[in-house]
Amino acid sequence: MSANDKEMQYKSWLLKAPLGLVLTGFGASLIGAATVRKQSGAPTLHWVSFGTLALTVFNSGLSVLADAAKHRAHYERLRDAE
């Protein structure tokens, strides 16, 4: 493994970790908004579709965050191998 591989892993982690956190937080906020829509008596199609979008964003954030953790683990493995 070269120093370039280590740098690529670090850059991937540096980009994906904050993005995953933002998407997860935004998705959680959207879930709350879908809940408010349901409680306010909005038509079922509106809050269900909004809630589905919210869960998609939330789960996407978790996936990006997990991928960031993978890149960080690879970075630390390469760093410690030097």
User: pLDDT tens for residues 20-54?
Assistant: 999 999 999 999 999 999 999 999 999 999 999 99
Buried b (16+ CB within 10 A) or exposed e, 28-42: eebbeebeebeeeee
Taking 90 as the threshold, does the pLDDT of residue 3 lie above it? no
**pLDDT of 60 above 60:** yes
What pLDDT does 1 receive? 54
Is the pLDDT at 2 greater than 80, yes or no? no
Could you give the CA distance from residue 76 to residue 80 in angstroms, rounded to a whole number? 6
Higher pLDDT, 79 or 1: 79
Residues 6+ apart with CB under 8 A from 61: 19, 20, 21, 22, 23, 24, 25, 26, 27
Domain range enclosing 55? 3-80
How many structural domains comprise the chain?
A: 1
* Closest by CA position to 30, among listed 56, 2, 1: 56
Q: pTM of this prediction? A: 0.89
